Each structure stands twice: as structure tokens, then as C-alpha cells.
Structure 1
């Protein structure tokens, strides 16, 4: 493993920012630190960078414990959400800054900066000052400056937060391609799940100072390990009495509550569903156009659930009576979790996750 953290704990006064956080990251991976604001993501990033010291726990870079190493000796590149460019320096000089500190020769600096200007799509902008650039261009300069000294680890603190939505989406693709090309292990902080899912090789979900789950985006989405992960990744509705649903009268967990994702439901007019005997009666409460489909809010067995409906099918209206087939539910209690399939349609044995 390239990066490892073991039992990291950090408090600021009475506030415990991280609580016994441990993880390992393979070399060359792009990792998204994902979670709500105030959950501890930036604190973890700052401890890796050496800008904060953990109260307890250890940080290892390629087999070396680095707790006592200052930031400048850790081989790290940093990119902040406000870019932190030197306003009086040109694009070329901003990118060259770290190389100058390393006392590289002028020829080496010219060659390296030239490579990065081409790599980051900044050709022709070398002499401009930061205030003469767009937000996307400034962020590219910040990336180039951070990787110029060839760090072993690149840390990005919400790198796209200050950029408008269209440019942010373009930069996500660019960042993924750039990291793949240069091969630097990269960790970026975000609270935007779409951003993390689209860009990251792996996601680490941080909540209230704890690491809830680490894995690939598809692993986390399909096999959530905690109720928080289910509620945070994608969309879901909590159901306190899942045993009221057809096919779920016998639950695999005692005193279980359920999370139901929209894709767990099939909503149709009478006659549209293939297994009407397994379906509930429902009433449409709200319909929202989402561009590629309809989001349907439906009342079933006294609870409100959300599902999707194809634009190819007849549109539904509030008040319409429909059939709702619940394919599966994610069950959890205080000690366990399980995904249970509808016994009327599938094998009644649940699949543990």
C-alpha cells in the first residue's frame, strides 16, 4: 500500500473531528473523500499534509511513518478551492514556483513547465496573470503548480467548489484523464456525491468523524454497509414498518427498519406489471419531470415512497391509482444489515452485504 492511516483521532477543544479513522490507499489511485460538511474530511486531508497533527494514530507513506515530518518533506502537492495562486506572477512563474524552490536549473524548469502547460491545456496563456484567467483556467494552473515538483501524493480540497456547474463538469473529466496520465496518488475532498462517483477510483465516506465505508463507487452503491451510506449515496426513503409490504411479512432482521431506493420500485398502471399479485395498491401524490424519466411520489401502505417511470410509458398524474411492486428493501437494525428480496418474486433467502 502507498498510503496508510491507522486509528487517526483529532479534536479541536470539545469537538472531535475524527474518531479512530483507518484506511489504506494503493499507489496511483484517485480517491474521493466524500461526506457532508463538518464530517472531518478536510481534517483528514490536513493531517495527511502535515498541516495538523493527530492526537493519536499514525500516518504511513510507502512504509515510512511520517507523523513527525514537516509538510515540505512529505512529497505532497496541495490544491485549495480558492486556487491560492500568486497574483503578481504569470502562469509560467506560478507553475515554476515549486521547481524554483527546489533549485532546479533554468533549462529543467523551462522543460518541466512546458510539459505541464501542454498537459493542462494552457498553451498560449503563459504570460497572463491569474486575474486575466477564467476560473477553470486558474484551477488548471493550480493543478499544474502542485504537480510540477513531481509529488508522490496530490491533495485537493474541494477543487471545483468555486467554479460554475458547466465548467466543473468539464474539469472533472479533465482531472480524471490527467491523473491517469501522470499516475500520482490523489485524494480529493468533496461533498458532491455525483462528483465523487464520476471521478474517483475509490470513495471513502466520512460522517461525524468516522469512516463509514471505503470502496469503488459501484461497490458502495450496490453494497452499502451502514444506513448512513444508503441514505447519503443515491436517493432513498426510510420505512419504519417494512413488514406491512407484500412479500416482506417475514423479515430477516428483528426490529428492522428499511431503506428503499427508487430503483427498488416498479410503478405502473393496472395491467402494466408482470406480477400484479406481488404488487401493492398505491396512489400517486406527486410527479416530477427529471429530463430522462419521471420521479413519482406514491403512497403505499400508509408510507410515501419514490420511484422512477420511463418517459416511454403513459404519463401519470397526482391522484392516479397505480400498482407498486417493491423488488427489494435494505433492512437494518442496531447491530446488522441485509438486503432482502421480495419473496413473492425472488428466492426468499436474503443476500447479505
Structure 2
């Protein structure tokens, strides 16, 4: 493994910021640290960088324990949320700064900076100062500066937070392509789940100082390991009592069981659209929201409002209309366990109405 963290722990006074966190990262992977604000993501990143010292635990880079190494000796590049560019330096000098500190020869510096300027799409801007650049261009300079000393690990603290939504979308794709071309192991902090899902090879969900789950975006979305992950990733409707859902009445084994249901796991429409009619519940359309490519439908079932999507190609629904609602899949949890379940009635051939 390129990066290994074992039992990492950190307090800030009486606040327990990071709690016994362990993980391993393969070389060349782009990892997203995702979670709510104050959950411990940046604290983990800063300990990896050497900007904070852990109270306990081991940090290992390519087989070497680095806990006691200074930041500049760890072979890392760091991209800050606020760019942290030197205002009095040109683009060229900003990128060259780390190489100059390492006393690299002038010819080598020029060669490396020219390479990175081309790689990051900054050709023609070498002589400009940060205030003469757009937010996206400044962020590209920050990336180039971090990559200049050829680090073994790239750390990024909410790298797109300071740019507007349109530029942020463009930079996501650009970063993904850049990391693939350079082949550097990278870890970035974000609280934007769309950003993490789009960019990262793997995601680590951090909440209240703990690592809730690590896996590919697909695995985390389809098979959340904890109730927090299930509620945090994507949209979900919480149903306090799973026994009120058609097909899920027997689940829970006598223990009070809750259900989280994603919109795409709910099907809603007139009765004639369903063959598994006995697996459906009656519902009333409460609200319809046009989303351009689809409808967002709010439907009331047994006093509970569920949210789902409906294709524009299907028959239009109207507020107040009586419909049938089929819950295909739910994430169930109680004090004893949590699990994902397909609606059992969908497997029962006797429930099919022909």
C-alpha cells in the first residue's frame, strides 16, 4: 500500500476530532474524504501533511513511518482551499518556488515549469500575477506549484470551494484527467458528495471523527454500511416504521425498524402501469416539481410523504390524483443491525397480476 494509517487519534483540547481512524490507499488512486463540516476530514489531511501531530496512531508512506518527519521531508504536495499564491510573484515564479527552495538548477526549473504550464493549460500566462487571473486559473497555478517538486502524494483541502459553480464543474473533469495523466496518489477533502462521486476512485465517509465507510462511489451508494452513510449519500426519505411499507411488514423481527428509501427505488403511477399490483400501496400525489429531464413527485402513503422521480415520457400525473406506489428497495436499520432489502413481494409469483 502507498499510504497506510493505523488507529489515528487527535484531540484539540477537550474536543475529540479524530477517533481511531485506520485505512490504506493504493498507489495512483484518487481518494475523496467526504463528510459534514466539522467531521474531522481536514484534521486527517493536516496530520498526513505533518501540519498537525496525532495524539496516537501510525502514518506510513510507501513503507516508511512519517509521524516524526517534517512536512517538507514527507514528499507531499498540498493544495489549499484559498490558493495561497504569492501575490507579488508571477505564475512562473509561483510554480517554481518549491524547486527554488530545493535549490534545483535554473535550467531544470525552467524545464519543469514549462512542462507543468502546458499540462495545466496555463501557456501564455507565465508572466501574469495572481490578481490578473480568473479563479479557475489561480487554482490551476496552485495545482502546478504543488506538483512541481514531483511529490509522492498530493493533498487537496476543498480545492474547488473558492470558485463558482460553473468553474467548479469544469475543474472537476480537469482534475480527474490531470491525476490520471500524472499518476500521483491523491487525497482531497470535500463536503460536496456530487464532487466526490464524480472525481474519486474511492470515497471515505468521515463523521464525528470516525471513518464510517470506505469504498467506490458505486459500492457506498448501493450498499451503505451505516445509517449515517445511507442518509448522507444521495436523497432519502426516512420512514420511522418500516412495517408500514407494503412488502416490508415482516421485517425487523419484533424490533422497531426504520427505513431509508431513495427516490429511484420508488415507482409511482396509475394502477394500469403495474403488474405487481399486490406489492403496491395506494397513494395521493401531493406535489409535482418539473426538473427539466424528469418530474420530482411527492406522494403521500399512509400519512408518510415519499419522494420519487417520474419520466417525462410517461402519462402526466396531477396533484390530488390517486396512484399506486411500489417501493422496490429499502435500507433498513434498528438497534441490532442494518441491511438492504428488495421488496419480498416482488419475488412472490402469486403477487403478479396478469
What is the CA distance between 1:268 and its match in structure 2? Answer: 0.5
Partner of 1:117: 117
Give matches, 1:276-287, under 5 Å. 276-287=277-288
Q: Is the counterpart of residue 342 in structure 1 residue 349 in structure 2?
A: no
Q: Pick which of 305-314 and 142-151 moved more.
A: 305-314
Distance in 1 (CA, whole Å) between partners of 2:14 and 2:320 is 51
Distance 1:291 1:58 in 2: 49
8 Å CA contact 1:252–1:340 kept in 2: the answer is no
SS of equivalent residue, structure 2 residue 347:
coil
Kindly provide the CA deviation profile for residues 38-80 of structure 1, in whole angstroms up to 9, marking residues without a partner as x: 0000000000000001111111111111111110100010101
Gaps of 5+ in 2: 350-354
Offset from partner CA, 1:63-103 (integer Å, 9 cap, x none): 11111111010001010111000000000000000111111
Unmatched tracts of structure 1, length 5 or more: 349-353
Counterpart in 2 of 1:255?
256
Give the Å deviation of 1:167.
Answer: 0.7
Equivalent residue number for residue 225 of structure 2: 225
Partner of 1:351: none
- Counterpart position of 1:145: 145
Q: Structure 1 CA distance, aligned partners of 2:36 and 2:121?
A: 32
Q: Distance in 2 between matches of 1:48 and 1:341?
A: 40
Structure 1 runs (4+) deviating above 6 angstroms are none
2:35 matches 1:24? no
Q: Deviations over 1:132-186 (max 9, x none)?
A: 0000000000000000000001000000001011110000000000000001100
Rounded Cα–Cα distance in structure 1 between residues aligned with 2:334 and 2:57: 30
- Tell me the equivalent position of 2:352: none
Residues in 2 aligned to 1:252 and 1:340: alpha-carbon distance in whole angstroms: 11
Aligned to 2:236: 236
Q: Is the 8 A contact 2:252 2:334 kept in 1?
A: no
CA distance in 2, matches of 1:160, 1:296: 32
The match for 1:155 is 155
* TM-score, scaled relative to structure 2: 0.96
Paired with 1:326 and 1:99, the residues of 2 have a C-alpha distance of 58
**Does the residue aligned with 2:345 lie in a helix, a strand or coil?**
coil
3-state SS of 1:271 partner: helix
Where do residues 5-154 of structure 1 align in structure 2 (5 Å cutoff)? 5-154=5-154
1:228-272 CA distance string (max 9 Å, x none): 111111110111111122211211553211111111110001211
Aligned counterpart, 1:265: 266
Q: CA deviation at 1:346?
A: 2.1
SS at match of 1:344: helix
Aligned residues, how many?
A: 348
1-structure distance, mates of 2:100, 2:251: 65
Counterparts of residues 190-205 of structure 1 (less than 5 Å): 190-205=190-205
